[in-house]
Structure 1
């Protein structure tokens, strides 16, 4: 138990989304929601997450010695698995219910979480599709992306290629200079609108679909862009037989013991929200 009644209540309290917002997400594959996390939630969990990132981070090289992916952010995955103190945040009913409603499903399970901290002077995040990594037999996947600090205009939200999720699997390219170049050319050649949300406050959040093309700018400021992400998959989804090494690795790490055709229900994929609960 957290011991903070206000925070515990906020984690369970519904965040109301409109039918217009749901339709906007369905159309665009991304959506911004202001103050999804209350100030009490952010004040409680930001120092805990920050402490865990510092404890678990193993990247000690200076930025100039890293490749493009390494310059983009410090990435710490599945904090909930490694820290009981972070778990109530990652398992928040408030967040998961929104994820289910935006996807139009009755329930969602955990895929995994990630802290993505873009350091001062950190590089851009290349264009990519998240779901090329995920061996899940569904299009009903969604990522919550939430800054824990104010993110100014020059750092901004991610940039999304609106409607690109309707095109499904566009490229097998993993996050790299090549993915950025190839997918940028594709987006421009196809005339796909590129949408960013600018400055975001701590506790604001974007949601985007697994197939939505997205990128993020570098960080020219002197402050770290502290972001927490949570990836959800629709309940009753089955494992897709992995067809790439990236998906084989994800299957072993995020759905241990499962194989193609199995229901996604490993100990690392608990139900986070279901309508009848």
Structure 2
């Protein structure tokens, strides 16, 4: 059920708040593989409307707009990254607060509800470079592994455009957890994946297909060799009862101060930036 702060979707776009059926087989697959791709989560009307909003915000707040692609670091070449879109626009908030996506996240995690950790757009420009192997939760001071990222393409993503590639079952391996995303993480994690014999799953995304992956699931993305941007909105969820852990590195300390400074170590991460998006408590 929606929280009291849940925005209302415009007329004709209420699919974002309608339930989506996740089967027991899909739950099992997610927990074994560390990721899952779900078909037909959104339709063309939803993606057109919210895609236009996310694109406008991404271009307006593009941190790379004054730096040519060829002069950026590997990270800067990988994508345009703009966070906290829900603070910037009412429609962006409605999309980030989608009950459909949040309920899927809670079901996949097996929790009574989920909080927002943060949202962000990840636009891989035409000619944009690869995204190195990494794990997301290396950046987040969370006390458990009950976090999940929803990766929501705003258009179909063929392999030439740089969809996500996952290390199947890698959330169960202690690989790359001390590495920030970088050229080093790309090489060291790639080598470890091959040594462990993990399967790399690199597949295109259909229109309306959305993937979910654990915070400790290894993933990367190829370059965008097309003439169109790869437009993606992401929402990171955590267990409604997630506790703030003592930060283990500079990235986690930075995230604590930037997002969760109103919460103390050992407390539930119920700060102003982390509202409950969906919960059985509200049913």
TM-score, normalization by structure 2: 0.94
- Which residue among 71, 75, 78 is the counterpart of 2:77? 71
1:23-65 Cα distance to aligned partner (Å, 9 max, x none): 0000000000112122221122111111111111131211110
Deviates more, 1:145-154 or 1:225-234: 145-154
- Which residue among 238, 241, 261 is the counterpart of 1:236? 241
- Which residue among 98, 102, 106 is the counterpart of 1:100? 106
Which residue does the alignment assign to 1:91? 97
Which residue does the alignment assign to 1:220? 225
Measured after TM superposition, the shift of residue 156 of structure 1 is 4.6
1:202-213 equivalent positions in 2, closer than 5 A: 202-213=207-218
Measured after TM superposition, the shift of residue 220 of structure 1 is 0.5
- Which residue among 129, 136, 139 is the counterpart of 2:135? 129
Which residue does the alignment assign to 1:14? 19
Which residue does the alignment assign to 1:266? 271
* Structure 2: runs of 5 or more not aligned: 1-6
1:124-273 equivalent positions in 2, closer than 5 A: 124-168=130-174, 170-198=176-204, 200-273=205-278
1:211-243 Cα distance to aligned partner (Å, 9 max, x none): 000010000100000000000000111000112
Tell me, in whole angstroms, the C-alpha distance in 1 between the residues paired with 2:281 and 2:9. 27
* Structure 1: runs of 5 or more not aligned: none
CA contact (8 A) 2:16 2:95 kept: yes
- Which residue among 31, 42, 45 is the counterpart of 2:47? 42
Secondary structure of 1:112's counterpart equals strand
- Which residue among 119, 124, 148 is the counterpart of 1:113? 119
CA contact (8 A) 1:146 1:202 kept: no
CA contact (8 A) 1:160 1:196 kept: yes
Tell me, in whole angstroms, the C-alpha distance in 2 between the residues paired with 1:172 and 1:159. 20
Measured after TM superposition, the shift of residue 16 of structure 1 is 0.6
CA contact (8 A) 1:32 1:197 kept: no
CA contact (8 A) 2:61 2:82 kept: yes
Measured after TM superposition, the shift of residue 12 of structure 1 is 1.6
Measured after TM superposition, the shift of residue 119 of structure 1 is 0.3
TM-score, normalization by structure 1: 0.96
CA contact (8 A) 2:121 2:233 kept: yes
